[in-house]
Structure 1
Amino acid sequence: MKYFLLFLISFSTMACTQGALTDKDTKSKPENILSKEVFTELYYDTQLVEAAIRVEIGKGADSKEISKFYYENLFKKYHITEKDFQDNIRYYASNPEQMSEIQTIVVNRLSKKEAELTNQ
Structure 2
Amino acid sequence: MSELEKAKQEVEQVCFAYHKAGGTGDIKDWKCFYDLENKLIDKVKIANQPQLTIPKSIAEMIDKEIMADAVTKFAMFHEGFERLWLSDELEMYCADKENYALASAYLAGKFLGVDLVKVGEG
With normalisation by structure 2, the TM-score equals 0.29
With normalisation by structure 1, the TM-score equals 0.29
Q: Which protein has greater RCO, CA pairs closer than 8 Å, 6+ apart?
A: 1
When Rg is computed on C-alpha atoms for both structures, the one with the higher figure is 2
Between Structure 1 and Structure 2, the one with more strand by share is 2
